[in-house]
Structure 1
Amino acid sequence: MEIDHHSSHIPKWKAKEVEEIKELIKTYHLFGIVGIEGIPAKQLQKMRRDLNGTAYIKVARNTLIKRALEEMDQDVKDMSEFIDVQTALIFSDQNPFKLFKLLEKSKTPSPIKAGAVAPKDIVVEARPTSFPPGPILGDLQRAGIPAAIDGGKVVVKETKTVLKEGEKAPQLLASMLNRLEIYPMVVGLDLRAVLEEGSIFRPDVLAVDETQYFNDIALAAKQAFNLSVYAAYPNADNITTLIAKASTESRNLGIYAVVFEPELMGALMGKAQSQMIAVAAAASAKNEEAVDDELKQTLGAAAAAAVSATTEAKAETVEAKEEKEEESSEEDGMAGLGALFG
């Protein structure tokens, strides 16, 4: 009988831990590997409580996690590459996208510690503070924060970038940022990868912009609908639009081709009337005697209607301009009062 000497020397508590991890992987719909570096124990406990009923977090040594993964199927073994520094396992029956979104929402701002690397440029805005004059003024100035006294309080007199992305925070600056309640760090469970039914999902896939995603779907649906109408491809969604389009096009064709149908007679008579008036106007312009009195009255009425429409359009333009000038005048007046009364 072949003996596994490597396994025989594993302490019982370690073997039990490995078996527990393997059983959790089999029990839940998915499991993921999360980074817990920099999360205080108290805050981690709170996260575990908040996720209770949705996800289960298992903290174990990296060596034990690797051993458990190596004793399972190949897709599970592949998750070993995401074990790094401080690692924990998360188990859930949610889908990977919901789990990722849930963990991202649970992240909270946190103070930067001395020696920590700035994840982004840290900017201190010009603003008042609640600090009375005292030693803190000198501490702020030594930390590179432009502070002064104004109205009996310490103020930050100008906006300044005090730490560039990638730089380490000096101890005094970290302390002053904390005093100013500037928390540039984001603390939370950092999901590195999730395994679901043999597929590994990384954060770059799970980080879906839902608004953009739905906008893209709506745009695609609209473009598909327009294409089906343009191609005259009938289906339940576009049949009403296709019938309306066909009806409009057939009516326009009938009018253009002068097809005498009962439904078109009104439009054809109107078209003929317009053409007749245009011919009569051209003839009258060359010779007033070319048209009879009845046509002259018709032309006069048409000309009067055109003048009236033009006059109304001009009046609307003038009225709109006057309203704009009045609004501008009111704004200038209010600005003057503001300047007068501070």
Structure 2
Amino acid sequence: MDAATEHRTAHVPQWKVDEIESIKQLVSKYSVVAVAGIRDIPAKQLQEMRRNMKDVVKIRIYRNNLIQRALDESNSDLSPIGSSVGDQTALVFTDLNPFKLFQLLKSSKTEAPIRAGAIAPADITVVEGPTSFAPGPIVGDLQNAGIPARIDKGKVVIRETKVVAHAGEAVSHALSEMLSRLEIYPMTVGFDLRSVYDNGTILEADALDIDEAKYATDIATATTGAFNLAIAIVYPTPATVPTLLAKAASDARNLAINSAIPEPAIIDLLLSKAQSSAMALAGSITDPDALGESLQGLLMVGVVEVEVAAEAGEGEEEAVSATDTETEEEAVEENMEEEGESKEEEAAEGLGLLFG
């Protein structure tokens, strides 16, 4: 410590020295240091948020001049975030990714009552319907605050939906009190992240506030586009080589077939294609003398097969009908045979009785 620093330190109360040293120790311990605003956060909610996040972040509140002093003495890279120190400030120490830290602090924000004299952040609306209040002076208090109220069937009700304070307007004491009693909380309070130091990099809050779903969609779209481009320009990478090889094999196979290159892998296809072409050509020749007997036979077989296939579909219905008819005829014949046998048996019995 040089003489000038020692001289200044001699006039600084020990508790301030201790707090500066505490900040410097936390700065050296954590990779991420953030400056956050804490204005308008009620003490109870502030303590609750600190308690809920204690496992992943450490939040400390110091005087602004002590924060500035500690940042200046800790690391020259930290100095830029000192410009974010102002008003009511807290330091946040963590090893979380800055983007995760931003989302964590954002999600920790809660609704809170609006104080008298505070500016409405948005239009404040009371909705028509019953309240939990019993008839009494509360009706006059609500009306004095500009809230349309009356007694209906033994209950205090809001007569109509109404905007009782527009965005940018100051809220009166009477309205503030009635909104709290109606459990209408227009304010959203929480840590207002201003800037973050992350291992030598300074990030402002607007750079951290991203739409995660849109970001993921953009990454997926870019990845698909890059893959398709690599395939189109035949750019080999570990991700594209399997597709490029499959495409090259398919293109080579098609080229070999179209060029009639006799390769073992495609010889069967070439012969099948040649036979189909020959049969099509033969079928277009009208002079039977121009074709040999074997070729005419093949053509006739092809025609017969087509006719048989066509007749097969029609024959199925006829077969079903014929089967039903045959079944009925067989049943009639069986009945006639049974009746004939019965008559023969009766005749035999009669002869037996006659001739003893």
Superposed pair shares fold, TM > 0.5: yes
Aligned-partner Cα distance in 2 for 1:92–1:121: 36
Aligned-partner Cα distance in 2 for 1:240–1:279: 48
Query: Which residue, out of 22, 25, 35, partners 2:24?
Result: 22
Pick closer, same or farther for the CA change 1:295–1:38 going to 2, 3 Å: same
Give the structure 1 partner of residue 243 of structure 2: 241
Contact preservation (8 Å) 2:120, 2:169: yes
SS at match of 1:193: strand
Shift in Å, 1:210: 1.7
Tell me, yes or no, if structure 1 residue 63 matches structure 2 residue 65.
yes
Give the structure 1 partner of residue 268 of structure 2: 262
Give the structure 2 partner of residue 121 of structure 1: 123
TM-score normalized by the length of structure 1: 0.71
Correspondences of 1:59-208 after superposition (within 5 Å): 59-208=61-210
Contact preservation (8 Å) 1:251, 1:264: no
Percent identity, aligned pairs only, is: 47
Contact preservation (8 Å) 2:20, 2:66: yes
Correspondences of 1:241-320 after superposition (within 5 Å): 241-250=243-252, 261-264=267-270, 266=272
TM-score normalized by the length of structure 2: 0.69
Give the structure 2 partner of residue 283 of structure 1: none
Could you say which structure has the larger radius of gyration? 2
Question: 1:98-151: CA deviations, max 9, x gaps?
Answer: 222221121111111111112222233334333334333333333333444455
Aligned-partner Cα distance in 2 for 1:214–1:92: 25
Question: 1:229-281: CA deviations, max 9, x gaps?
Answer: 2122233323343344345545655676677842255567678889999999x
Give the structure 2 partner of residue 38 of structure 1: 40
User: Structure 2, unaligned stretches of length 5 or more?
Assistant: 287-299, 314-356
Amino acid of the residue matched to residue 165 of structure 1?
A
User: Structure 1, unaligned stretches of length 5 or more?
Assistant: 281-291, 306-342
SS at match of 1:194: strand
Give the structure 2 partner of residue 338 of structure 1: none
Which deviates the most, 254-263 or 181-190? 254-263
Aligned-partner Cα distance in 2 for 1:88–1:228: 49
Amino acid of the residue matched to residue 269 of structure 2?
E
Shift in Å, 1:82: 0.9
Aligned-partner Cα distance in 2 for 1:297–1:17: 99
SS at match of 2:168: coil
Aligned-partner Cα distance in 2 for 1:128–1:33: 44
Aligned-partner Cα distance in 2 for 1:270–1:175: 92
Count of residues in Structure 1 that have an aligned counterpart in Structure 2: 294
Please report the RMSD computed on the Cα atoms of aligned residues, expressed in angstroms. Answer: 3.6
Give the structure 1 partner of residue 13 of structure 2: 11
Pick closer, same or farther for the CA change 1:253–1:176 going to 2, 3 Å: farther
Give the structure 1 partner of residue 225 of structure 2: 223
SS at match of 1:204: helix
